[in-house]
Structure 1
Amino acid sequence: MMWLAPFALLVTSLVHPSSQQDGNTTAPFPNATYPNATSPNPAAAVNASFSPPYYPAPWGTGAGEWASAYAKAQAFVSQLTLTEKVNLTTGVGWEGERCVGQNGAIPRLGFRSMCLQDSPVGVRDTDYNSVFPAGVNVAATFDRGLAYARGQAMGSEHQMKGSDVQLGPVAGPLGRAPEGGRNWEGFSPDPVLTGIQFAQTVQGIQSAGVIACGKHYIGNEQEHFRQSTEAAGYGYNISDAVSANIDDVTMHELYLWPFADAVRAGVASIMCSYNQVNNSYACQNSHMLNYLLKGELDYQGFVVTDWQGQHSGVGSALAGLDMTMPGDTLFNSGQSYWGANLTVAVLNGTVPQWRLDDMCIRIIAAWYYVGRDNASIPINFDAWTTDTYGYQHFFAKEGYTLINEHVDVRQEHADLIRQIGSASTVLLKNTNNALPLTGKEKFTAVFGDDAGDNPYGPNGCPDRGCDNGTLGMAWGSGSANFPYLVTPETAIQNEILSNNGVFQSITNNFAGMQIQQLASQASVAIVFVNADSGEGYITVDGNEGDRNNLTLWDGGDVLIQNVSAICNNTIVVIHSTGPLLLGNYSTNPNITAILWAGIPGEQSGNSIADVLYGRVNPGAKLPFTLAGAREDYGTDLLYIPNNGKGAPQIAFTEGVFIDYRALDRANVTPIYEFGYGLSYTTFSYSNLQVKTVLGMNGTYTPTTGSTPPAPTYGTVSNNTADYQFPSNLTYVPYYIYPYLNSTTLSTAANSSDYGDNSDVPLNSQNSSSQPLLPASGAPGGNPELYDVLYEVTATITNTGSIAGEEVPQLYISLGGPYDPNIVLRNFERLSIQPGMSATFTADITRRDLSNWDTVAQNWAISSYTKTIYVGSSSRKLPLSATLS
């Protein structure tokens, strides 16, 4: 029957987990099989390609603040039958229900299927929702409070639409390469800035009673070759997705760092990524899921695949996967690696009951942890259409009914969106106080396609897959539908007309003669330019998700040159998804001001007008480096497959040296450095004080002991007649069910090879007590990592004439030969009145001063001298002190 995929699908990669590869081969881990290896120099250990297996999958214990949620989940799961448990873990199929992903329901207990819905900037594919600024803008605010408030507002809109899981926020990609297509969905290539804003966003979303889903775990640093099927559509003949080959030190000190912050903050779900990590798919990589996430970080929530990110049945189950989305092997195939196949796998003992029970406990505990038992409401939208009436099962065209109630969930969020948009606008240049403008300039001219409307409307390009008009939102599944988009042209025109001024605009970048004529009349010319990117399933102007280069789009450079050659008061405003090359704009005397405004969402025009006209004094800082040349970043994307028809290989040979760390190591001067941003006022730094709390001699105790044995909940009947398709249930085509089509397992599995104990990885079915990892101990890792060792204070004085906001930043030199010159460790956004001072306060934890020890598999503070720096950017650090 069509609801049952051949069980052979389940075992196609059955042996693969036991040979999963990763470069972390420097020390024996419990229950792991290793080739012969010695402990390499960390700098030479970067070209990794082997992922050691780690089994069994750790079972959740209700650690930390999860105890109450686990107790409720255990009571619930104990009541479930086998097929009800399988229903919780398996999506019903692409376009099978009303959300982008839904698992099976449990009608007997009144539990409706869970709605998993994009995106990290709002509720995707619906109407009457807000579009929030992108993650990269939140990073640029360097403001914890705004990150939390945005998360809470987004979570409340998801909650009011009936969404249970918001598929966001994003910390992968981190931003290894500046051309990465989805870097804008995340925060910053700095792991600390990302980790703090990631965690704040998680807590904000979950405070609204919605499960946050941190993604994409892990190494998803480019769109090219993330899926072999997608790559085939672009003409690339590869057998498997790209492999991100990352060494142990780099994994811990860079890419895993923000996920540890999220786990510590209580993130209730995590999405594994499409790519391979060290030649094992991220959604069945036992080292990434079992060892790092559930073992070392003591993660208590559930792991869900990216959509079509599952590549095996038994293999992924034993490697730590808890939920598969959207449930089918390929969209609308009607076949699944789990569903009925998982039912068979439990019945024949290939997947032990305790592993399925743990999947369910984690899923239901997440539900209770965020309070969905009190906050859940019926789904009132449809991800496949904004029509009022349609099919409940969209692809199967069955169940015609009311599917969209057009619930307006925006509340007063426009005010917050406008605030974040202006608070994230970075002032890069301001010659002779060209800004702020007064609105009474004699003749204001605005130039650029990026200033105006998309002629197709703000939602005229599906998933924002074009670069027409102002760039308020980049493209892909991380987008949402605009309720409106305030353009810069409209906002500035309103400003000028309210002062009875003169305003004209040209939004065609290639209207050369008209641009020259208008520029010659302008007393101030404001040029809007952009650079777009997005997810790999959409190509815009030849950019397959990732950007092909770091230049401006749509002739932006020529536009700036044409205007600034004529008008000696040219202001440049940039909307971009990440870094770009500014050429000589920073030194061009006719370009009097430059602002980076990122991807600001629906209030784009109002936000930039607030800054241009001085209602908001800019205080944002660059969340990445603006270098002088592409090669200065020290990393790049892989644009052409490099392994024949095999999986493309990306060796992260730069280690932890990305963005500002790379330029620092190479002693290259950037155009504008990480953390840089001007204000309409000025600030001074003084009086650095370092207070020893515990100091570096404080005790750090590796975690010891063992877990309890794996628990099981309820019993599983061995009577296969109990698992046949119910006679009273109407079959929906292509829907993924947990039911069998035969009472004989071998027949039901449609394969004589349906798995046995000889097929599964060593130790993967072991339910006995397991040793705890030394770096574990609580969600987020060993609790002593977060002990405060020092407290730093400094005095920040507003030496100008107007109120402003400044972001003092704390950097640390760890001192080792393989360490970056400096690394960001803390920051605080302060609001200071003119002539007044404020105290910057920052804690330094044990984790902040530690390096990853590959032999001990733990964090350790090296004997090298530690120096702290405080300043206004990564290259302007007037205060320093050596830690004793």
Structure 2
Amino acid sequence: MSGDAEREEAVERALARLGVEDKVRLLSGQDFWTLPALPQIGLASLVMSDGPVGVRGTGWAPDDPSVALPSPTALAATWDVALARTAGRMLGQECRRKGVHVLLAPTVNLHRSPLGGRHFECFSEDPFLTGEIGAGYVTGVQEQGVGTTVKHFVGNDSETDRMTVDVRAGERTLRELYLAPFARITAAGAWGAMAAYNTVNGLTMTEHGPLQNDVLKREWDWDGVIVSDWTAARSTVPSALGGLDVVMPAVGDPWGPALLAAVRSGEVPEKVLDDKVRRVLRLAARVGALDGAVTVPPLPPPRLDGSEVAREIATRSFVLARNEQDLLPLDAGSLRTVALLGALAADARVLGGGSAQVFPPHVISPRDGLTAALPAVVFAPGADPRPHLPAAVGGYTATLRSAGFRVLYATPLPYATVRWMGSLPSGVDPGELSTVEISGRITPAVSGVHELSIIGFGQFVLRIAGDVIFEGEIYADDADPDTVFHEPVERRFPVPLTLGDPVDVSLTLEVRPASAGFVNVSLGYAAPGPSADDLLDQAVAVARDADVAVVVVGTTEEVESEGFDRTTLALPGRQDELVFRVAAANPRTVVVVNAGSPVLMPWAEEVPSILLTWFPGQEAGAALADVLLGRAEPGGRLPTTWPRRDEDALPTTPVDGVLSYDEGVFIGYRAWQRGTATPLFPFGHGLGYTTWSYESLTIEPDPAHAGTAVVRLRNTGARPGREVVQIYAGAVVGTTIDRPLRWLAGFAPVTAAPGETVEARIPLPERAFQIWDDGWQAVPGTYRIEAARSVEDRPLSTEIRI
């Protein structure tokens, strides 16, 4: 008997022993992250945790750090399914270490608009690339015996009014774009999916029977579990009949006694309930939480090193967007001084805001990485994009106390931030918790007016040297917890301090029962320093005297985050001015863009080299040094188009509660090909440190596909290199069907030594030659097949008859 058959038998045995009360109980969270155990059938509590770049787990973050891989946009920029699988295996390994059964990832919504706040957390604007990278990721996680929940099903492509927005999209648009990655990844075997907050065509997704029951479960013959996004379920009978299987979390659960009553009254048939329970038990069997079932797999694959995996993904994801006069790679032996400029060079942004945030064991900043690799790096911040003071560092402690001031828990902090969502430290009763205190000591390195800040929400007391300098509320009691958690504001306080005289500082937050599950507070600190104008002047002076200037610019978690969309693609603060002025002072300027998604670059033509590094994870600076100095190839290619102007981005703001996808199937590069404007950098673009000659393209018959594209290419440069061969299919000659001019049909990364010829064999899926017209329909005719470096650089073409 196969493992699947044995698991199904175990599931049916367990189901037969359950009464209706326990069946209902199993389908709702018992707290923020877990489902209840049912010991009478040998069922352990299923534990879930946020991803997608790490595993937060259910523990308190400072106690239980997680590897932090590069952002999903970075992973997609590798165009490497095998590497995505390795990333998944790494995260599955982290889940097993933390006792997590289900990773709430990957996010496979599309890059409909670069203004989307969670753009960095999704893979690509292209459904095929998204599906392939996502399938590799899911396969890797589940090879570790850990489940995934591909999310957010469906239409959660932006954040504005995400709880209520009604996304209006035609059937063809949904099928060819937004549902396509989910179809690919569930076919690859994903064990779970997450229902989105939003509404699609008038039905909220947690009640969307036509998409959840009819498409996902029946048409795609999928046997996994649909879990609600947290607090997304807001009804009992409609959500139960609409295909939802699990409601999370316990807070605000509309099922429980209400669902039990609906089953007993016949409003929800017990066979519908049984299908949900069967899916949960099947998931439990797969992850080893159900006695008598064979887990998947019986043993984990060999252990991976998190730092090594993070560094490899980062270097392979960096996109060399511009490199005039071959400024990169830098010759370390010829450099006397390197100017390293930009506040983000010292305070690397390694991940975006929201549920994607984890606490890594360490972060290697660009300053750390380049200083370790080069003898003479001179740093100047130049311009600071951070809207909040950075959290204080060095010797801080978090202390949790009861109302009677009894210490419930205390731990050192790497920096003065306390953040949790749903779970407190082990052994702390949420009902007993009264206050959280961040305390430490400041020893001023300079006399003058220093700044402290409170970043967070709630009732606070801030003390310096025992004196209260602030006591009061930062947010009102009725503020939306989700909003204030993702968008905390700041209150600053000037404090005169004297060089060398240490002062104790403490920030105490009163934790009320309503907010115990959502705590996000930081004690910010900044010493007196130069003015913004002086900082720019200093950076220019440093750049002028250096052999090369490396300017690190980017966004922050206040710009790119879950919970809100961007209002502009412009870099925050005076970073554009910094680049312009440094480029004018030093013609050998490299701009490193530390952003998870596109930003505007009004200075793009003024600098010789631009390197896009996304949110590069915990090994950011080490990977940057590898690539800048030529120890590694910048292997990335753009998974999304980079526009020149804000006006080129599709809107994300609903009108009267409705966000209409009037553009249909024309998003990203599919839309750019129809217009008169040109993007800053096209889809698929990326340079390397060598050159390539595309020599031939042929199409071989393939019984499993529409054919196989065979591309021969040669490394014509003096260095080993990596190339991503992209295959685009063109519209049928003479057709009247409104289709894009071309679309991605396949890809494959190749590597070659100098002078070596390599061959890429890329299957052409049947779906690439079909459209949705009340079902998938092949469109017969002649298609143009192009082998390309990007959607705008296509050196070879041929034709195929379908």
TM-score by length of 1: 0.70
The structure showing larger relative contact order (alpha-carbon pairs under 8 Å, at least 6 residues apart) is: 1
Say if 1:810 and 1:871, in contact at 8 Å, map to a contact too: yes
8 Å CA contact 2:318–2:612 kept in 1: the answer is yes
The residue identity in structure 1 corresponding to 2:260 is T
Structure 2 equivalent of residue 826 of structure 1:
746
- 1:623 corresponds, among 632, 639, 642, to 639
- 2:97 matches 1:73: no
Aligned AA for 2:365? T
1:650 and 2:659 are equivalent in the alignment: yes
In structure 2, C-alpha distance between the alignment counterparts of 1:660 and 1:681, rounded to whole Å: 26
Tell me, what secondary structure is at the counterpart of 1:483?
coil
Match of 2:539 in 1: 515
Name the CA shift for 1:503/1:495 in 2 (closer, same or farther; >3 Å).
Answer: farther
Who is 2:305 aligned against? 412
Contact preservation (8 Å) 2:544, 2:585: yes
Task: Tell me if structure 2 keeps the 8 A contact 1:195–1:262.
Answer: yes
Q: Residue 43 of structure 2 contacts residue 284 of structure 2 at CA under 8 Å; is this kept in 1? A: no
Q: Secondary structure at the match of 1:840?
A: strand
Would you say the 8 A contact 1:178–1:636 is kept in 2? no
Tell me how far 1:65 sits from its aligned partner. Answer: 9.2
Matched, 1:661 2:670: yes
1:136 aligns with 2:155: no
| Aligned ranges 1:169-568 → 2 under 5 Å | 169-172=106-109, 174-227=110-163, 241-329=164-252, 336-373=253-290, 412-440=305-333, 441-452=335-346, 469-497=347-375, 501=376, 503-506=378-381, 508-509=383-384, 510=532, 511-532=535-556, 545-568=564-587
Secondary structure (helix, strand or coil) at the match of 1:70 reads helix
CA drift at 1:860: 1.0
In the alignment, the residues of structure 2 paired with residue 254 and residue 367 of structure 1 have an alpha-carbon distance, to the nearest angstrom, of: 32
Cα distance in 2 for residues equivalent to 1:71 and 1:819: 47
Instruction: Give the SS at the match of 1:800.
Output: coil
Offset of residue 370 of structure 1: 4.6
CA deviation map 1:172-230 (0-9, x unaligned): 2x111111011111100110110001111111000011111111010001111012xxx
CA-atom RMSD, angstroms?
A: 2.2
1:678 matched to 2:687:
yes
The 1-side partners of 2:5 and 2:692 are apart by: 47
Write the distance in 2 (CA, Å) between the matches of 1:288 and 1:251. 10
Taking the aligned partners of 2:80 and 2:166, their CA distance within structure 1 comes to 34
1:147 to 78, 84, 91: 84
Judge conservation of contact 1:688–1:792 (CA < 8 Å) in 2: yes
Alpha-carbon displacement from aligned partner over 1:749-795 (angstroms, at most 9, x marks no partner): xxxxxxxxxxxxxxxxxxxxxxxxxxxxxxxxxxxxxx412111010
Specify whether residues 134 and 536 from structure 1 end up closer, same or farther in structure 2 by C-alpha distance, changes over 3 A only. Answer: closer
Q: Would the aligned equivalents of 1:203 and 1:266 in 2 still touch at CA under 8 Å?
A: yes
Code of the aligned partner of 2:539 = I
Deviation at 1:279, TM superposition (A): 1.5
Aligned length: 636
Inter-partner Cα distance in structure 1 for 2:329 and 2:292: 45
1:536–1:801 CA distance, 2 compared to 1 (3 A): closer
Match of 2:508 in 1: none
Q: Distance in 1 between matches of 2:558 and 2:262?
A: 38
Structure with more strand by fraction: 2
- The verdict on how the C-alpha distance between 1:368 and 1:805 changes in structure 2, with shifts beyond 3 A counting, is same
Deviation at 1:283, TM superposition (A): 0.7
Q: Aligned with 1:631: secondary structure?
A: helix
Structure-2 residue corresponding to 1:156: 93
Q: 1:139·1:188 contact (CA, 8 Å) conserved in 2? A: yes
Quote the offset at 1:373 in angstroms: 4.9
Q: Is the 8 A contact 1:284 1:311 kept in 2?
A: no
Give the one of 583, 608, 619 matched to 1:592: 608
- Counterparts of 1:198 and 1:793 in 2: how far apart (Å)? 24
TM norm structure 2: 0.77
Shift of 1:70: 2.8
Q: What is the deviation of 1:103?
A: 1.5
Matched, 1:575 2:594: yes
Alpha-carbon shift at residue 840 of structure 1 (Å) = 0.8
Per the alignment, residue 736 of structure 1 pairs with none
- SS of the residue corresponding to residue 565 of structure 1 reads helix
In structure 2, C-alpha distance between the alignment counterparts of 1:119 and 1:527, rounded to whole Å: 30
**Counterpart Cα distance in 2 of 1:253 and 1:155:** 30
Structure 2 Cα separation of the partners of residues 358 and 352 of structure 1: 10
Question: In the alignment, residue 798 of structure 1 is paired with which amino acid?
Answer: N
Number of the residue aligned with 1:810: 727
- Offset of residue 545 of structure 1: 2.4
Task: Please state how far the C-alpha of 1:575 moved relative to its aligned partner.
Answer: 1.2
Contact 2:370/2:377 (CA < 8 Å) preserved in 1?
no
Shift of residue 109, structure 1, vs aligned partner: 2.6
CA gap 1:314/1:535 in 2 versus in 1, 3 angstroms? farther
CA deviation after TM superposition for structure 1 residue 527, in Å = 0.2
* Inter-partner Cα distance in structure 2 for 1:835 and 1:375: 57
> Do the aligned residues in 2 keep the contact of 1:533 with 1:547 (CA within 8 Å)?
no
Quote the residue 2:518 is aligned against. none
3-state SS in 2 of match to 1:788: coil
Matched to 2:655, the amino acid is N
From the superposition, tell whether residues 830 and 520 of structure 1 become closer, same or farther in structure 2 (CA, over 3 Å): same
Mapped to 2, the partners of 1:426 and 1:217 lie a distance apart of: 30
Amino acid at match of 1:794: V
Query: Structure 1 pair 185/825, CA: closer, same or farther in 2 (3 Å)?
Result: same
Deviation at 1:442, TM superposition (A): 1.7
